Amino acid sequence: MIRRVCVVGAGVIGSLYAAHLARVAEVSVLTRREEHARALAEEGLQVSGRHEFSASVAAAADPAALGDADLVILATKGIEVDAAASRLRGRFPGAAVMTVQNGLGAEEIVQRHGPWPLVSAVTFMSGTRHSDTHVEYILDTATWLGPYGGTPFELVREVAELIVASGLRAEAFPDLRPAQWSKLIFNATVNSVSALTGLPHDAHFAAREHVSDLGHLVHDLVDEGKRVAAAAGVALHDDPWEMNVLATQRGSAHYPSMLEDVEARRPTEVDLITGALVREAERTGVAAPLHTAMYRLVKAREASYS
């Protein structure tokens, strides 16, 4: 029975989980910055957009200042997982840890820091962070969860039910990999193309009329990703090309996080997203020249910051 949840990282996704779950559980938030924790503890979390409410949460920048938990949701960026998990060492002995990063490999990293049962998740929610204590809930799409390693499916179901009870959408799968890989291929394609071209995820990504149209490249990248998935023995849950076309038909174009990262000259998650796909291609002996090219281009873009 999950009564106490600790959310690690209060960006958009962490804030949305923390505020909603605070309506059905006792929620604490572990932040990186001291003043962020202070603001959350004093003002609580305000949600606007699709849902409008405020929630009270406990918060600290020091894990020792937080009580125990039954569930830890690790909601940092992928590149921060290692540092965040190392801060949890020896803490939360009775908790399961849920990862929700883009790409592949967050679970392996967490596993190196403690013996917690692990829940894999991918989320399609989106929002905008207006301040340390105010998040706007934009796309109310689901979080998908699955067991990792020997975690019992019953525990995954319980987490999914708690998230649904809190007002968010969630679904538990006995095997998350088909969904995780659909999102991986989608993300590797859309994020890297967006980061390099400066285009938000708009109609250009589906255009295949002229030879110079971007949709041809997007389609080729998706096809390459599908060949890697097949070689890895994964039958995809959704077709990433259809996900791409559907997403570009929404009213307003989404700004992929990797585009925001390169525009702010921050490190991106490319190693965990495109890099993961390239490593899987290498492991399974499948050629992935286009994703490998995108990987090197985004890494070089990062190198241009200095």
Please give the radius of gyration of the chain, using alpha carbons only, rounded to the nearest integer: 19
**8 Å CB contact between 97 and 119:** yes
Binding residue (CB under 8 A) for its own copies from 50, 51, 157, 216: 216
Tell me if 301 contacts its own copies by CB under 8 A: yes
Min separation Cβ 225 and its own copies, Å:
14
Tell me if 300 contacts its own copies by CB under 8 A: yes
Positive/negative CA dihedral, 300, 106, 164, 24: negative
Instruction: Measure the N-to-C terminal CA separation of the chain; round to a whole number of Å.
Output: 49
Min separation Cβ 198 and its own copies, Å:
4
Q: Candidates 23-31, 167-175, 229-237, 282-290: pick the segment binding its own copies (CB under 8 A).
A: 282-290
Tell me if 264 contacts its own copies by CB under 8 A: no
Element (H, E) at 232: none
Tell me if 193 contacts its own copies by CB under 8 A: yes
Query: x/- binding map, residues 224-253, to its own copies, per CB under 8 A?
Result: ------------------------------
> For residue 203, which of 191, 195, 213 has the smallest C-alpha distance?
213
Tell me if 266 contacts its own copies by CB under 8 A: no
> For residue 82, which of 62, 101, 54, 55 has the smallest C-alpha distance?
101
Q: Which is nearer to its own copies, 158 or 261 (CB)?
A: 261
Report which residue type is found at 286.
V
> DSSP code of 205?
G
Residues 6+ apart with CB under 8 A from 227: 286, 288
> For residue 116, which of 97, 91, 90 has the smallest C-alpha distance?
97
Q: Which is nearer to its own copies, 249 or 306 (CB)?
A: 306
Burial 151-164 (b: 16+ CB within 10 A, else e): beeebbbbbbebbb
Retrieve residue 28's tokens.
């604490």
Binding residue (CB under 8 A) for its own copies from 135, 190, 214, 236: 214
> DSSP code of 141?
P
Q: Candidates 17-25, 173-181, 238-246, 292-300: pick the segment binding its own copies (CB under 8 A).
A: 292-300
Query: x/- binding map, residues 148-187, to its own copies, per CB under 8 A?
Result: ----------------------------------------
Q: Which is nearer to its own copies, 119 or 259 (CB)?
A: 259
User: What residue ranges bind its own copies (CB under 8 A)?
Assistant: 193, 196-199, 204, 211-214, 216-217, 220, 275, 278, 282, 289-290, 292-293, 295-297, 299-301, 303-304
